[in-house]
Amino acid sequence: MMDIELNFINKSNDANNSQVVIFQKNVAANFNEPAVAWLVVQHCGQGDNHPFAFPASMTTSASDSYGNYTPQHPAEHGQLFSMNETTSGHSLQLSGTSSSPTDVEVVNALPMGAINANIYKARKLLATKTSLAPQQKAVFQFNPSIWIGVVSEIEQGEVMNSAILSSMNTELSLLGIASADIVMTGGGPGPESTPFEFTLENIVMA
């Protein structure tokens, strides 16, 4: 699976030095599940561009209630991982197949103590499920698309609340795409201001 080469281009009228956030939604979760700011583009002025790669591959890790983080393991759809008690301490291990071929699942198999389950792309946090009690399971599933919007004062890797998410309704499908430009237009000062819009241009199919 190849990375998708994307290039954000600011062709907007924005003069507020806005931040642009790119993220995915965990479609296996409930509607109110918070999403994570996977990439935050900032200080990208009018006419500037910001190239980045969006990997097809992902990794998973878990953290425990003692503040320990496991190494990141390559994760594929259809895999089940479990956080286990071993003689050397807590360990995240591939332990079978998930209940759906489109899901990545992480189960807390510890006898006691909660864990957090995390999914990463390009070693940046993509999604998280916190406070999984023993025998509880996190389920992650992602459509081949990204969400994008304009935000203020958000950090990369930060969990975004529902109020922020409700203001971002642009989903860009990456299905079958090898590379594309993401062009931002709109914005601007005063009553002439229009909503920000994001479109894919110069699309090269895989």
Segment 14-59, tens digit of pLDDT: 988 899 999 999 999 776 678 999 999 999 999 999 999 999 999 9
pLDDT at 201 over 90: yes
Nearest to 138 by CA among 111, 98, 165: 98
Instruction: Give the integer Cα–Cα distance in Å for 98 and 107.
Output: 10
Please name the residues in contact with 113: beta carbons below 8 A apart, sequence gap of 6 or more. Answer: 64, 65, 66, 134
| C-alpha torsion sign, points 23, 157, 50, 12 | positive
Sheet bearing 89-97, strands edge to edge: 89-97, 79-86, 104-108, 137-140
> Strand 79-86 vs strand 73-75: parallel, antiparallel, or unpaired?
unpaired
Residue 1 has pLDDT above 90, yes or no: no
Picking from 39, 52, 59, the residue whose alpha carbon sits closest to that of residue 9 is 52
For residue 175, the 8-state DSSP code is: T
Nearest CA-CA partner of 180 in 58, 55, 57, 52: 52
Of all residues in the chain, the percent with pLDDT exceeding 90 is 86
pTM for the model: 0.94
Cβ-proximal residues to 147 (8 Å cutoff; 6+ apart), any chain: 22, 23, 24, 25, 35, 168, 170, 171, 172
- Compute the residue count for the chain: 206
> Nearest-CA neighbor of 28 among 84, 83, 98, 90?
98
Q: Summarize the confidence of residues 1-21 as an average pLDDT.
A: 93
pLDDT (tens digit, 9 = 90+) per residue, 117-139?
999 999 999 999 999 999 999 99
DSSP states along 121-141: ETTEEEEEEEEE-TT-EEEE-
